[in-house]
Amino acid sequence: MSDSAVDLEAEQYEKHREAGAILAQVRQEAADRVEVGVSHLEVAEYAEDRIRELGGQPAFPVNISIDEEAAHRTPTIDDESTFGEEMINLDIGVHIDGWLADTAITVDLSGNPELAEASEQALEAALDLVEPGVNTGDIGAEIEEVIDGYGYNPVVNLTGHGLGHWEQHTSPNIPNRAVSQGTTLEVGDVVAIEPFATDGGGKVTEGSSEEIYSLEREASVRNRQARDALAQITEEFRTLPFATRWLETDRPEMALRRLKRQNVVHGYPVLKEDEGCLVSQKEHTVIVTENGCEVTTADQ
């Protein structure tokens, strides 16, 4: 969008800010609940319920990624998993009327504080660079340099991203390494910057499990459970990701299998580094302003 046409006091930006303020509070409250022996499901549901209490809606299911996992893991309906002495990433999103904020934090119970610090400091360095006219490739180069300086690798096939209306991932991509073909940021861009640092090789692959889905297209379906699920998806989540455990129909797993077979929804497999490796993550959402950026998800 062109600089001259952007009104940063417009209602959409106020909603981005409101979502960010809710998210900053929930991020801290959820992180404070992560302790050895505590249930994953309890933390996820606490955060999602708290978002609703504070006047927002979850923009996607709370991601709780453990050790080598980097993204797309959320508890199942009857999940009994509990936290151990692990590296835990919480990735949480909020929307107000489809206007989003996205944030992540690492809670390190594994005894590897420097890995958590690497992604945190990479994010701080990236935020210092954000202003109109900066190239996203330069932001990626800064992230890579900071993480390299800690002796770790950035996860190169995960990126930050723009946040659209009812769209969790839009352009521009914000790489976590130097790239020659970046995008120039402009006033009014809303982007999530999310460095991932790892003691592994720096590339994630898809695991076999899926608990998060989003709508691909609308279609008529004959099966009652699938029809009920689709009605809830289109009305409540629209194009935003949702969890199996959010569906109110009976036998939601069966309903989703049918919808996936008809290409009505698509799943997000858990993304992970090699087994035995660790991944840390830190993420903020920013609005690009005339002289820098406004961090909507900053600590309150």
Residues marked as catalytic: 91, 102, 161, 169, 194, 283
Please provide the DSSP assignment of the chain as one string. --GGG--TTSHHHHHHHHHHHHHHHHHHHHHHH--TT-BHHHHHHHHHHHHHHTT-EEEEEEEEEETTEEE-----TT---B--SSEEEEEEEEEETTEEEEEEEEEE-SS-HHHHHHHHHHHHHHHHH-STT-BHHHHHHHHHHHHHHTT-EE-TT--EEEEETTEEEEEEEE-SS--SS--B--TT-EEEE--EEESS-S--EEEEEEEEEEE-------SHHHHHHHHHIIIIITTS-EEGGG--SSSHHHHHHHHHHTTSEEEEEEEE-STT--EEE-BEEEEEETTEEEETT---
